[in-house]
Protein backbone atom coordinates (compact mmCIF):
# COMPACT_ATOMS: atom_id res chain seq x y z
CA UNK A 1 0.00 0.00 0.00
CA UNK A 2 2.87 2.36 0.86
CA UNK A 3 5.47 0.44 -1.11
CA UNK A 4 8.17 2.79 -2.36
CA UNK A 5 7.57 5.39 0.37
CA UNK A 6 10.59 6.08 2.56
CA UNK A 7 10.15 7.59 6.00
CA UNK A 8 12.94 8.76 8.27
CA UNK A 9 12.06 8.24 11.92
CA UNK A 10 13.80 10.44 14.49
CA UNK A 11 11.55 9.36 17.36
CA UNK A 12 12.47 6.87 20.06
CA UNK A 13 9.28 6.21 22.03
CA UNK A 14 5.77 7.64 22.30
CA UNK A 15 3.47 8.90 19.56
CA UNK A 16 6.17 9.34 16.92
CA UNK A 17 7.16 5.69 17.12
CA UNK A 18 3.49 4.63 17.19
CA UNK A 19 3.06 6.57 13.95
CA UNK A 20 5.99 5.02 12.09
CA UNK A 21 5.11 1.54 13.38
CA UNK A 22 1.70 1.91 11.75
CA UNK A 23 3.17 3.28 8.51
CA UNK A 24 5.66 0.40 8.37
CA UNK A 25 2.78 -2.06 8.71
CA UNK A 26 1.18 -0.28 5.75
CA UNK A 27 4.27 -1.05 3.68
CA UNK A 28 6.46 2.04 4.06
CA UNK A 29 10.22 1.67 4.30
CA UNK A 30 10.90 3.20 7.72
CA UNK A 31 14.49 4.13 8.52
CA UNK A 32 15.05 4.59 12.24
CA UNK A 33 17.70 7.25 12.88
CA UNK A 34 19.27 6.13 16.13
CA UNK A 35 21.55 8.20 18.32
CA UNK A 36 24.83 6.72 19.54
CA UNK A 37 24.53 4.83 22.86
CA UNK A 38 24.00 7.17 25.81
CA UNK A 39 23.98 6.42 29.52
CA UNK A 40 21.07 8.82 30.02
CA UNK A 41 18.79 7.45 27.31
CA UNK A 42 16.00 4.98 28.01
CA UNK A 43 15.41 2.68 25.06
CA UNK A 44 12.06 0.92 24.60
CA UNK A 45 11.81 -2.79 25.48
CA UNK A 46 13.06 -5.10 22.74
CA UNK A 47 9.54 -6.46 22.14
CA UNK A 48 7.79 -3.08 21.74
CA UNK A 49 6.75 -1.16 18.62
CA UNK A 50 6.43 -4.33 16.60
CA UNK A 51 10.02 -5.24 17.53
CA UNK A 52 11.16 -3.01 14.69
CA UNK A 53 9.41 -4.93 11.92
CA UNK A 54 9.47 -3.14 8.61
CA UNK A 55 12.20 -0.77 9.80
CA UNK A 56 15.90 -0.30 9.18
CA UNK A 57 18.22 1.24 11.75
CA UNK A 58 20.99 3.73 11.02
CA UNK A 59 23.10 5.30 13.76
CA UNK A 60 23.91 9.00 13.29
CA UNK A 61 25.29 11.48 15.79
CA UNK A 62 23.14 14.44 14.75
CA UNK A 63 25.11 16.88 16.88
CA UNK A 64 28.28 16.07 14.99
CA UNK A 65 27.08 15.02 11.55
CA UNK A 66 23.81 16.62 10.48
CA UNK A 67 24.89 16.34 6.83
CA UNK A 68 24.56 12.56 6.95
CA UNK A 69 20.93 12.99 7.91
CA UNK A 70 20.29 15.68 5.30
CA UNK A 71 21.75 13.40 2.63
CA UNK A 72 19.16 10.78 3.57
CA UNK A 73 16.43 13.40 3.75
CA UNK A 74 17.15 14.53 0.19
CA UNK A 75 15.56 11.37 -1.19
CA UNK A 76 13.03 10.59 1.57
CA UNK A 77 9.28 11.05 1.32
CA UNK A 78 8.51 11.90 4.94
CA UNK A 79 10.20 12.61 8.26
CA UNK A 80 8.81 12.04 11.73
CA UNK A 81 10.47 13.80 14.66
CA UNK A 82 9.32 14.11 18.26
CA UNK A 83 11.72 16.64 19.75
CA UNK A 84 10.48 19.52 21.84
CA UNK A 85 9.80 22.64 19.78
CA UNK A 86 12.97 24.27 18.48
CA UNK A 87 15.31 21.32 19.04
CA UNK A 88 15.30 20.09 15.44
CA UNK A 89 16.08 23.61 14.20
CA UNK A 90 18.98 23.92 16.64
CA UNK A 91 20.36 20.62 15.37
CA UNK A 92 20.13 21.93 11.82
CA UNK A 93 17.62 19.29 10.72
CA UNK A 94 14.36 21.23 11.05
CA UNK A 95 11.79 21.62 8.32
CA UNK A 96 13.43 24.55 6.54
CA UNK A 97 16.83 22.83 6.49
CA UNK A 98 15.30 19.67 5.05
CA UNK A 99 13.11 21.57 2.61
CA UNK A 100 16.23 23.21 1.21
CA UNK A 101 17.40 19.79 -0.01
CA UNK A 102 13.95 18.28 -0.69
CA UNK A 103 11.02 20.54 -1.51
CA UNK A 104 8.61 17.58 -1.64
CA UNK A 105 9.27 16.42 1.91
CA UNK A 106 6.38 15.77 4.28
CA UNK A 107 7.75 16.74 7.68
CA UNK A 108 5.74 15.73 10.77
CA UNK A 109 6.72 17.27 14.11
CA UNK A 110 4.92 15.14 16.69
CA UNK A 111 4.90 16.64 20.19
CA UNK A 112 2.91 16.44 23.37
CA UNK A 113 1.41 19.92 23.28
CA UNK A 114 2.14 21.32 19.83
CA UNK A 115 4.72 23.81 18.58
CA UNK A 116 3.16 26.90 20.18
CA UNK A 117 1.26 27.84 23.31
CA UNK A 118 2.01 27.97 27.04
CA UNK A 119 2.56 24.20 27.34
CA UNK A 120 4.67 23.73 24.21
CA UNK A 121 7.99 23.37 26.06
CA UNK A 122 6.68 21.06 28.78
CA UNK A 123 8.06 17.56 29.10
CA UNK A 124 5.31 14.97 29.20
CA UNK A 125 4.09 11.45 28.63
CA UNK A 126 0.82 9.70 27.83
CA UNK A 127 -0.70 10.23 31.28
CA UNK A 128 -0.08 13.98 31.14
CA UNK A 129 -1.81 14.39 27.78
CA UNK A 130 -4.83 12.44 29.05
CA UNK A 131 -4.85 14.64 32.14
CA UNK A 132 -5.06 18.02 30.40
CA UNK A 133 -7.66 16.84 27.87
CA UNK A 134 -10.34 15.92 30.43
CA UNK A 135 -9.95 12.21 29.71
CA UNK A 136 -8.74 11.22 33.18
CA UNK A 137 -11.35 13.30 34.97
CA UNK A 138 -14.13 11.52 33.05
CA UNK A 139 -12.99 8.17 34.40
CA UNK A 140 -12.38 9.23 37.96
CA UNK A 141 -8.64 9.83 37.60
CA UNK A 142 -8.02 6.10 37.12
CA UNK A 143 -4.90 5.14 35.16
CA UNK A 144 -6.01 3.97 31.70
CA UNK A 145 -3.85 0.85 31.41
CA UNK A 146 -3.09 1.61 27.74
CA UNK A 147 -1.21 4.36 25.95
CA UNK A 148 -4.38 5.97 24.62
CA UNK A 149 -2.80 9.37 24.00
CA UNK A 150 0.41 8.12 22.38
CA UNK A 151 -1.41 5.63 20.16
CA UNK A 152 -4.79 7.14 19.22
CA UNK A 153 -4.16 10.77 20.14
CA UNK A 154 -0.71 11.23 18.63
CA UNK A 155 0.45 8.24 16.61
CA UNK A 156 -2.69 7.64 14.59
CA UNK A 157 -3.35 11.35 14.07
CA UNK A 158 0.20 11.78 12.80
CA UNK A 159 -0.11 8.81 10.45
CA UNK A 160 -3.41 10.09 9.06
CA UNK A 161 -1.92 13.56 8.54
CA UNK A 162 1.11 12.13 6.76
CA UNK A 163 -1.05 9.98 4.48
CA UNK A 164 -3.21 12.99 3.59
CA UNK A 165 -0.12 15.12 2.91
CA UNK A 166 1.38 12.42 0.69
CA UNK A 167 -1.88 12.21 -1.25
CA UNK A 168 -1.95 15.99 -1.71
CA UNK A 169 1.67 15.90 -2.85
CA UNK A 170 0.72 13.47 -5.60
CA UNK A 171 -1.77 16.05 -6.87
CA UNK A 172 0.18 19.26 -6.36
CA UNK A 173 3.85 18.28 -6.02
CA UNK A 174 4.05 20.22 -2.76
CA UNK A 175 5.45 18.92 0.51
CA UNK A 176 4.11 19.90 3.92
CA UNK A 177 5.00 20.75 7.49
CA UNK A 178 2.69 19.01 9.98
CA UNK A 179 2.40 20.25 13.57
CA UNK A 180 0.88 17.23 15.34
CA UNK A 181 -0.11 17.77 18.97
CA UNK A 182 -0.82 14.58 20.88
CA UNK A 183 -3.02 16.49 23.30
CA UNK A 184 -5.09 17.92 20.45
CA UNK A 185 -5.56 14.39 19.22
CA UNK A 186 -6.96 13.36 22.60
CA UNK A 187 -9.33 16.34 22.44
CA UNK A 188 -10.69 14.76 19.26
CA UNK A 189 -11.30 11.56 21.23
CA UNK A 190 -13.04 13.63 23.90
CA UNK A 191 -15.26 15.52 21.46
CA UNK A 192 -18.54 14.02 22.72
CA UNK A 193 -17.90 15.19 26.27
CA UNK A 194 -16.35 18.55 25.40
CA UNK A 195 -19.05 19.41 22.87
CA UNK A 196 -21.73 18.46 25.39
CA UNK A 197 -20.27 20.92 27.89
CA UNK A 198 -19.93 23.70 25.30
CA UNK A 199 -23.49 23.24 24.09
CA UNK A 200 -25.31 22.59 27.38
CA UNK A 201 -22.98 23.46 30.26
CA UNK A 202 -23.25 19.87 31.50
CA UNK A 203 -19.86 18.49 32.51
CA UNK A 204 -19.12 14.79 32.18
CA UNK A 205 -17.78 13.09 35.30
CA UNK A 206 -17.93 9.57 36.70
CA UNK A 207 -21.57 8.52 37.04
CA UNK A 208 -23.03 11.58 35.33
CA UNK A 209 -23.34 10.54 31.66
CA UNK A 210 -24.15 7.48 29.63
CA UNK A 211 -20.48 6.78 28.91
CA UNK A 212 -19.29 7.36 32.47
CA UNK A 213 -21.63 5.04 34.35
CA UNK A 214 -24.88 6.91 34.86
CA UNK A 215 -27.03 4.05 33.58
CA UNK A 216 -27.05 0.36 34.42
CA UNK A 217 -27.40 -0.54 30.73
CA UNK A 218 -23.83 0.62 30.08
CA UNK A 219 -21.66 -0.85 32.82
CA UNK A 220 -19.56 -3.81 33.92
CA UNK A 221 -20.65 -6.67 36.18
CA UNK A 222 -18.88 -9.46 38.09
CA UNK A 223 -19.91 -13.05 37.51
CA UNK A 224 -19.92 -16.14 39.70
CA UNK A 225 -16.32 -17.10 38.88
CA UNK A 226 -14.96 -13.64 39.72
CA UNK A 227 -14.59 -12.72 36.06
CA UNK A 228 -16.49 -9.80 34.56
CA UNK A 229 -18.71 -8.94 31.63
CA UNK A 230 -19.29 -5.61 29.90
CA UNK A 231 -22.80 -4.54 28.98
CA UNK A 232 -23.31 -1.83 26.37
CA UNK A 233 -27.04 -2.13 25.72
CA UNK A 234 -27.65 1.52 24.81
CA UNK A 235 -30.40 1.06 22.23
CA UNK A 236 -33.80 0.14 23.59
CA UNK A 237 -34.12 -3.13 21.68
CA UNK A 238 -30.80 -4.38 23.04
CA UNK A 239 -31.74 -3.53 26.61
CA UNK A 240 -35.12 -5.20 26.17
CA UNK A 241 -33.39 -8.32 24.91
CA UNK A 242 -31.13 -8.28 27.97
CA UNK A 243 -34.01 -7.80 30.39
CA UNK A 244 -36.03 -10.55 28.76
CA UNK A 245 -33.16 -13.04 28.93
CA UNK A 246 -32.37 -12.15 32.54
CA UNK A 247 -36.08 -12.30 33.43
CA UNK A 248 -36.34 -8.70 34.61
CA UNK A 249 -38.54 -7.26 31.88
CA UNK A 250 -40.16 -4.88 34.36
CA UNK A 251 -37.12 -2.62 33.91
CA UNK A 252 -37.14 -2.48 30.11
CA UNK A 253 -39.26 0.68 30.03
CA UNK A 254 -37.22 2.34 32.79
CA UNK A 255 -33.83 2.08 31.07
CA UNK A 256 -33.05 5.79 31.48
CA UNK A 257 -35.10 6.47 34.61
CA UNK A 258 -32.58 7.93 37.07
CA UNK A 259 -34.71 6.92 40.03
CA UNK A 260 -34.53 3.26 38.98
CA UNK A 261 -30.82 2.92 38.25
CA UNK A 262 -29.70 1.62 41.65
CA UNK A 263 -32.45 -0.98 41.58
CA UNK A 264 -31.72 -2.04 38.01
CA UNK A 265 -27.99 -2.23 38.67
CA UNK A 266 -28.54 -4.36 41.78
CA UNK A 267 -30.81 -6.69 39.84
CA UNK A 268 -28.28 -7.11 37.04
CA UNK A 269 -25.46 -7.71 39.51
CA UNK A 270 -27.49 -10.41 41.26
CA UNK A 271 -28.34 -12.07 37.95
CA UNK A 272 -24.79 -12.11 36.62
CA UNK A 273 -23.54 -13.53 39.92
CA UNK A 274 -25.47 -16.76 39.29
CA UNK A 275 -23.31 -18.02 36.39
CA UNK A 276 -19.72 -17.95 35.20
CA UNK A 277 -18.62 -15.25 32.75
CA UNK A 278 -18.19 -17.46 29.70
CA UNK A 279 -21.55 -19.14 30.30
CA UNK A 280 -23.26 -15.75 30.32
CA UNK A 281 -21.45 -14.67 27.16
CA UNK A 282 -22.40 -17.88 25.37
CA UNK A 283 -26.04 -17.36 26.33
CA UNK A 284 -26.42 -13.61 25.92
CA UNK A 285 -24.14 -12.58 23.04
CA UNK A 286 -26.25 -14.35 20.35
CA UNK A 287 -29.37 -12.62 21.74
CA UNK A 288 -28.34 -9.11 20.59
CA UNK A 289 -27.69 -7.86 24.12
CA UNK A 290 -24.41 -6.00 23.52
CA UNK A 291 -22.48 -8.13 25.99
CA UNK A 292 -18.80 -9.04 25.82
CA UNK A 293 -16.36 -10.67 28.23
CA UNK A 294 -13.77 -8.55 30.02
CA UNK A 295 -10.64 -10.45 29.06
CA UNK A 296 -7.35 -10.36 30.90
CA UNK A 297 -4.24 -9.56 28.88
CA UNK A 298 -3.26 -13.25 29.08
CA UNK A 299 -6.59 -14.26 27.50
CA UNK A 300 -6.42 -11.84 24.58
CA UNK A 301 -3.81 -13.62 22.38
CA UNK A 302 -5.87 -16.81 22.25
CA UNK A 303 -9.03 -14.85 21.43
CA UNK A 304 -7.27 -13.09 18.52
CA UNK A 305 -4.87 -15.87 17.55
CA UNK A 306 -5.06 -14.97 13.85
CA UNK A 307 -3.42 -11.60 14.65
CA UNK A 308 -0.48 -13.10 16.55
CA UNK A 309 2.76 -13.92 14.77
CA UNK A 310 6.11 -15.48 15.59
CA UNK A 311 9.17 -13.24 15.22
CA UNK A 312 12.88 -13.69 15.77
CA UNK A 313 15.08 -11.10 17.46
CA UNK A 314 18.86 -11.24 16.87
CA UNK A 315 19.61 -11.00 20.60
CA UNK A 316 16.46 -12.27 22.30
CA UNK A 317 15.49 -15.16 20.04
CA UNK A 318 11.96 -16.13 19.02
CA UNK A 319 8.81 -14.83 20.66
CA UNK A 320 5.23 -14.00 19.74
CA UNK A 321 3.78 -10.55 19.17
CA UNK A 322 0.78 -8.88 17.60
CA UNK A 323 1.22 -8.72 13.87
CA UNK A 324 0.06 -5.94 11.54
CA UNK A 325 -3.50 -5.00 12.45
CA UNK A 326 -4.28 -2.99 9.31
CA UNK A 327 -5.20 -4.30 5.86
CA UNK A 328 -2.73 -3.79 3.03
Listing from the earlier edge strand, what are the strands of the sheet with 218-222?
Answer: 218-222, 228-232, 291-293
The domain limits of the chain are 6-189, 215-293
Q: Using pLDDT thresholds of 50, 70 and 90, give the confidence band for residue 41.
A: low
For residue 236, CA distances in Å to 22, 111, 243 come to 37, 42, 10
pLDDT of residue 277: 97
182: three-class secondary structure by DSSP: helix
pLDDT of residue 45: 58
- Per annotation, catalytic residue among 9, 77, 126, 150: 150
pLDDT of residue 315: 73
Return the CATH fold of 6-189.
Rossmann fold (3.40.50)
**Segment 233-266, tens digit of pLDDT:** 999 999 999 999 999 999 999 999 999 999 999 9
In this predicted structure, which of 1-5, 18-22, 324-328 has the lowest mean pLDDT? 324-328
DSSP 8-class letter at 100: T
- pLDDT > 90? residue 305: no
Alpha helices in the chain (DSSP H): 14-25, 66-73, 87-91, 95-99, 126-132, 135-138, 148, 156-172, 182-189, 191-200, 236-245, 261-272, 277-284, 300-303
Look up 313 and say whether it is catalytic. Answer: no
- Per annotation, catalytic residue among 125, 179, 276, 288: 125
pLDDT of residue 39: 44
- β-pair type (55-59, 29-34): parallel
Look up 150 and say whether it is catalytic. Answer: yes
pLDDT of residue 35: 81
Q: Which residue has the higher pLDDT, 50 or 204?
A: 204
Domain 215-293 has CATH 3.30.1540.10: yes
In this predicted structure, which of 36-50, 64-78, 223-237 has the lowest mean pLDDT? 36-50
Q: Nearest to residue 21, comparing CAs of 43, 1, 44, 49?
A: 49
Q: Which residues of 297-326 are buried (b: 16+ CB within 10 A; e: fewer)?
A: eeeeeeeeeeeeeebeeeeeeeeebeebee
**What does the pLDDT average to over 271-299?**
96
Say if residues 23 and 323 touch (Cβ distance below 8 Å): no
pLDDT of residue 42: 57
Kindly report the pTM of this predicted structure: 0.89
Amino acid sequence: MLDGITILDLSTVGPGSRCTWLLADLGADVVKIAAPPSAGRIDPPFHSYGAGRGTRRIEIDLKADKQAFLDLAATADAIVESYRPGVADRLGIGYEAVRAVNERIVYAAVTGYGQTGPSASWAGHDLNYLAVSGYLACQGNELPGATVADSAGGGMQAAISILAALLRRERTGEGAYLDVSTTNGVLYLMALQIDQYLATGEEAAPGTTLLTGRYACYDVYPCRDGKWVSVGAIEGQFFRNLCRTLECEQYAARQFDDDAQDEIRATLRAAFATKDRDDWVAELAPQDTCIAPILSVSEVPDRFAELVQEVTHPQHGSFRQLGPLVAR
